Amino acid sequence: MNVTQDLSILHLILQASAVVQVVMAILVGVSLMSWYYIFMKLFAVKQARQKTETFERDFWSGGNLNNLYNSAVNDRHHAGSMERIFEAGFREFTKLKGQANLDPKDIVDGARRAMRATYQREMDALESHLAFLASVGSVSPYIGLFGTVWGIMHAFRGLSNVGQATLASVAPGIAEALVATAIGLFAAIPAVLAYNRFSHDIDRLAVRYESFMEEFSNIIQRQMR
């Protein structure tokens, strides 16, 4: 074989030691999982943003709140996060308003607590799998580095059986080891970029949800006067 064949990526992976191959396999598996979550989260965040914009437009257009509530209840499985927050708050408001001897402040606080509970559930759903992406981004380079260190140790141990150590004899072993670091970076960089982007987008959605809860609470409070 010529030098180019010996140093091809596929040949280096196949000729690497068992430990380094296991490290590479783990990194490839982690990378595939992170890409799956990246695409899944990309569609989820985009859909959440679109549904939020649609509901905000309907809510602030001056429509009847009862009609909005009935629409949210009838289409619950396709409703967005903000719509479900509104549904929870309006349901609690209607239930408490029908009870006698309740202070208006208690009614508003009850509706706000109901919205807050739904808000927490919606945020948990939006933030799911972000911790995995963060872990991949922070740990993958070190896993790849472990494979590289192990591979270099294996290459230098092999030199003990060689009468004269040359660059040609040590280069393939070191190249095999460095592939592990390259795969680790390949897994880590997209995960870090995706985590930062999704965290930013979800934080912006959270601000919109919290603002809506405060504004809707003010609307409820005005209706109690």
Residue-wise pLDDT tens digits, 211-222: 999 999 998 888
Contacts of 56 (CB under 8 A, 6+ apart): 82, 208, 212
Instruction: For residue 184, give its domain range.
Output: 3-223
**Percent of the chain whose pLDDT exceeds 70:** 85
Instruction: Tally the domains of the chain.
Output: 1
Q: Please give the Cα distance from 97 to 109 (Å, whole number).
A: 12
pLDDT tens track for 193-202: 999 999 999 9
Give the pLDDT of residue 74. Answer: 85
pTM exceeds 0.85 for this model = no
The number of beta carbons lying within 10 Å of the beta carbon of residue 208 is 15
Identify whether the C-beta of residue 91 lies closer than 8 Å to the C-beta of residue 65.
no
Q: Which residue do the tokens 């799956």 mark? A: 36
The number of beta carbons lying within 10 Å of the beta carbon of residue 160 is 7
Structure tokens at 150: 């192990």
